[in-house]
A and B are shown apart, each in its own frame.
Chain A
Amino acid sequence: MSLEVKQLTKVYKHQKALDRISFEAKSGQVLGFLGPNGAGKSTTMKIASGYLFPDEGDVWINGVSVVEHPKQVSKMIGYLPEHNPLYLDMYVKEFLHFIASLYRLKGSSAQNQISTIIEKCGLGAEQHKKIGQLSKGYRQRVGLAKALVHDPEVIILDEPTTGLDPNQLLEIRKLIREIGRDKTLVLSTHIMQEVEAICEKVVIIHQGEIVAQDLLQNLKAGRGFTSVFLETEEQLRREWFELLKGIKEIHQIRENELEFLIYEASDIRKELLTVVQDRNLSLLGIRLQERNLESIFHQLTQS
């Protein structure tokens, strides 16, 4: 079970949406596909699901090419498109039956599968309601149920949590984590906490190119900058600190507060304190902060 993107290129009229991107997602490993809006996340997912045609490259699902056998691949993929399109006139159960029939599930096996999915997605109480009457959180569950109904091995979720309230967010994330345990799961998002909460592997894409791909822990460790914040009662000047070793950048946050971007191994707090003492300043605070995924994301995707 795997999803392999190879040298994928897609050109819209005047713009290269994807430029030879390659990455791989493996079974039991939730892959977070990150990028600012318009970076090419949805385009990639639309190609992987067989909805769009790439200009170059291919996506391989369990070794089967999406370009050549889109229909064969479609049976192995569960896809939740961006904005979660649903037939609002249909009842939840009716909709799932409709989808099941598109995937050639019939009779009692379809019945069983649908009941299992309804329970798994927590739709038991809503199954006889019209989709149009459901709240956004429940619609999202219906969308997930749709993606799971034919028991696919590879699951592609395009921004599955946009527009949910904090409680719904937690529930959907929990559900996604559960699903991801024994499937290959790729999800796109621009919410960093989500990636930190769900994903093992991260691919960051920016302007159609991959700018980083690694396991989440490696990514956080590898881009090892740490911030130190220093606050005093008096005004602070950058020049006082420029001679210290191990500093990459200094940002003046306020008149009396500086942020020092330092290389990971060098804790400069002691040296900073010496400067503060030498200049006879009254210290208000000094604090070390590890960089999170969010700052890595900013660093990689600001052009």
Chain B
Amino acid sequence: MGRLFLKEINAFFNHLTGYLLLAAFLVTLGLVVWVFPETSVLEYGFADLEALFVYAPLIFVFLVPAMTMRMIAEEKKSGTWELLMTSPLTNSQVVLAKYFAAVALIVLALLPALIYYYSVVQLGDPVGNIDSAGFFGSFIGLVMIGAVFAAIGIFSSALTENQITAFVIGVFLGFLLYFGFSAFSMLQRNDAALFLEEISLSYHYQSMGRGVIDSSNLIYFLSVIGSLLVLTGIMIKRK
């Protein structure tokens, strides 16, 4: 299983596309945090990185499905899926290896954000005047969002042999779960709306941004991830 995990990471960096995706992500975040006047920390005047945490999920909606779209679809198309499925690896091992590879890549993409944190700490007046709990709460929340999107991506990649289809489904499901449900919930004020809001990703993400890591939020994220991976397992069952 470890070897398959490494194979996925290698495959990502074997192509220019992998670097391109990471570069696009970092450049966009860099522009949002430091350059664009609407969102730049420097213009804003407060030592906080809210812009980063507002925009990163938006980019993730596209970035993560682009990372994960090939993971199963491409193997199915090229036939190598048959090699994996007829090996002693169980289906869950295959799914988990691929999933953790995707999460590892997402964490890797997020690491430079820690440099932004350090910069803002240094820019604060006095130095270090930043809501660290809020930052790390949001940071963990962002990793969780990425992890959920990765599960969505793996799931949609298992639905089809076509990478583009997998990408489109992944983007749509991610969008629905992050923005869609909370937006629907604003249409009306009743119990259903409240429920919709509570199952939306953004609701739990924002609550982590307050700097308090509540177990209910973590349980929410983990159960969404768990159910998506179980669904993926069902999709790839022997037919």
Query: Is B3 at the interface (CB under 8 A from chain A)?
Result: yes
Instruction: Say yes or no: B87 contacts A85, CB within 8 Å.
Output: no
Query: B residues within 8 A CB of A50?
Result: 85-86, 238
Neighbour of A70 across the interface among B4, B79, B238, CB < 8 A: B238
Query: B residues within 8 A CB of A260?
Result: none
Instruction: Say yes or no: B88 contacts A104, CB within 8 Å.
Output: yes
State the Cβ distance, A148 to closest chain B Cβ, in Å. Answer: 14
A160 vs B84: C-alpha distance in the bound complex, in angstroms? 19
A74-B88, A81-B83, A99-B83 known; A51+B238 contact, CB < 8 A: yes
A79 vs B87: C-alpha distance in the bound complex, in angstroms? 9
Query: Is B11 at the interface (CB under 8 A from chain A)?
Result: yes
A99 vs B83: C-alpha distance in the bound complex, in angstroms? 9
Instruction: Say yes or no: B85 contacts A51, CB within 8 Å.
Output: yes
Query: Is B129 at the interface (CB under 8 A from chain A)?
Result: no
A51-B85, A102-B87, A103-B87 known; A81+B79 contact, CB < 8 A: yes
Neighbour of B89 across the interface among A51, A85, A102, CB < 8 A: A102
Instruction: Say yes or no: B88 contacts A49, CB within 8 Å.
Output: no
Q: Total contacts A to B, CB within 8 angstroms?
A: 60
Interface size class of B (residues with CB under 8 A): 20 to 34
Instruction: Say yes or no: B7 contacts A98, CB within 8 Å.
Output: yes
A74-B88, A102-B4, A102-B88 known; A146+B238 contact, CB < 8 A: no
**Which secondary structure dominates where chain A touches chain B?**
loop
Query: A residues within 8 A CB of B223?
Result: none
Query: B residues within 8 A CB of A101?
Result: 2-3
Instruction: Say yes or no: A98 contacts B239, CB within 8 Å.
Output: no
The residues in A between 61 and 112 inclusive whose CB is less than 8 angstroms from any CB of B are 70-71, 74-75, 77, 79, 81-83, 85-89, 97-99, 101-104
B7, B79, B87: residue with the most chain A Cβ atoms closer than 10 Å: B87
Query: A residues within 8 A CB of B80?
Result: 85-87
State the Cβ distance, B239 to closest chain A Cβ, in Å. Answer: 6
Instruction: Say yes or no: A51 contacts B3, CB within 8 Å.
Output: no
Instruction: Say yes or no: B3 contacts A102, CB within 8 Å.
Output: yes
Query: Is A53 at the interface (CB under 8 A from chain B)?
Result: yes
Query: Is A52 at the interface (CB under 8 A from chain B)?
Result: yes
State the Cβ distance, A254 to closest chain B Cβ, in Å. Answer: 46
Query: A residues within 8 A CB of B4?
Result: 102
A79 vs B239: C-alpha distance in the bound complex, in angstroms? 18
Instruction: Say yes or no: A53 contacts B83, CB within 8 Å.
Output: no
Instruction: Say yes or no: B88 contacts A89, CB within 8 Å.
Output: no
Query: A residues within 8 A CB of B11?
Result: 87, 89
Instruction: Say yes or no: B78 contacts A52, CB within 8 Å.
Output: no
A50-B238, A70-B238 known; A85+B86 contact, CB < 8 A: no
A71-B88, A81-B82, A81-B83 known; A52+B238 contact, CB < 8 A: yes
State the Cβ distance, A101 to closest chain B Cβ, in Å. Answer: 4
Closest B residue by C-beta to A143:
B83
B residues with CB within 8 A of A: 2-4, 7, 11, 14-15, 78-90, 238-239
* Nearest 7 pairs of A and B residues by beta carbon: A85-B79, A101-B3, A102-B87, A53-B238, A85-B80, A49-B86, A81-B82
Q: List 5 A-B contacts (CB under 8 A).
A: A50-B238, A87-B80, A89-B11, A99-B83, A101-B3
